[in-house]
Amino acid sequence: QNTIDKIAAGEVVERPASVVKELVENAIDAGATAITVEIKEGGIAFIRVTDNGGGIEKEQVPLAFLRHATSKIERVEDLLQISSLGFRGEALSSISAVSQMEVITKTGDALTGVRYVIEGGREKLFEEVGAPNGTTMLVRNLFFNTPARAKFLKTAMTEAGYVSGYMEQLALSHQDISFKYMVNGQTKLHTSGNSNLKDVIYGIYGRDITRELLPVSFERLGISIEGFIGKPVIARGNRNFENYYINGRYVKSKILMKAIEEAYKPYMMQHKYPFVCLHYEIQGEEIDVNVHPTKMEVRFQNQGAVYNATYDMITEALSKREM
Ligand code: ADP
Ligand code: MG
């Protein structure tokens, strides 16, 4: 019980997927347009995230690894219009406390970059190096010094599965960023960053699914929805194919889930679920995200409006489709 409490307290670094999430979010915050994520042994042995973003200034590098070091405090409120999803200056300090970490970073106007090594929270090396603009974060041997936490990791295959799931959601929610994702040296996903959602869906789910998609676009009462929904022929045995994003963020919502499934109900067998990929733009005051960083549950001020918009949009698209 005590151990479980401690793990819950170490909220940002639960497993490799949460490390990847934090590092990638930092890369996105740094304005990266291309991000490469590589993992080995499910990310337990090796995680490398490379971005072409703004980089970290030389003197700022060691400071970025201190608890509550953040360069983003003024922006916390307006960040994607959803507040507090891990933007509290805790990620790098938490990750570096329980792994062997290395950073290579260079800003656009610096002549040289910096290589910084920190293991178990202890600084090991700080040197100037030649480097491209942007940042590479390397995390080795997660939980090497906290065996109690290492025990809660699943097999490398399962951990890799969590990372892969996250990478897919990421690619679907940020079509404007080029993602490359490699597992044990093999490329699993590569998106162009050309903003074409259908291309991303194709890259993840393959040609079969893209043939059965209906484009949707909807606007009502300050709620706008864009994306693709699967014809009812694409029925799945679980909800993993119900993807929705609010203001660019992957979230979970019982209301949306219900609206989607009710709209499909006349066309679906029981215990079958549709494919959808929907991007919502909703004004910030209308939504409330649970503050716990590992939860993605979202609440709406006006639940009825969001439910109806979703239900009506899908019902209309499905009733008009050619079979
Ligand atoms: P937060 O993201 O909440 O600010 P982090 O611990 O994740 O806290 O990161 C600390 C700081 O390190 C960030 O505020 C940012 O200034 C810097 N940083 C981290 N990763 C990157 C990156 N990939 N590119 C540029 N700056 C970064
Ligand atoms: Mg961060």
> How many Cβ atoms sit within 10 Å of the Cβ of residue 59?
8
d(CA 271, CA 275): 13
d(CA 69, CA 72): 9
pLDDT of 264-311, one tens digit each? 999 999 999 999 999 999 987 777 765 455 557 788 888 999 999 999
Q: Domain locations in the chain?
A: 2-190, 207-320
Total residue count of the chain as it appears in this document:
323
Tell which residue, 169, 179, 308, has the closest CA to residue 252: 169
| Architecture, CATH, for domain 2-190 | 2-Layer Sandwich (3.30)
Q: Which atom of ligand 1 is nearest to the CA of 71?
A: 14
Q: Which atom of ligand 1 is nearest to the CA of 73?
A: 4
Nearest CA to ligand 1 atom 13: 70
Nearest CA to ligand 1 atom 7: 91
- Model confidence at 78: pLDDT above 90: no
CATH of domain 207-320: 3.30.230.10
pTM to 2 decimal places: 0.88
pLDDT of 204-226, one tens digit each? 998 888 889 999 999 998 899 99
- Ligand 1 site residues (CB inside 6 A) read 22, 26-27, 30, 51, 53-56, 64, 69-72, 87-92, 135
d(CA 61, CA 97): 15
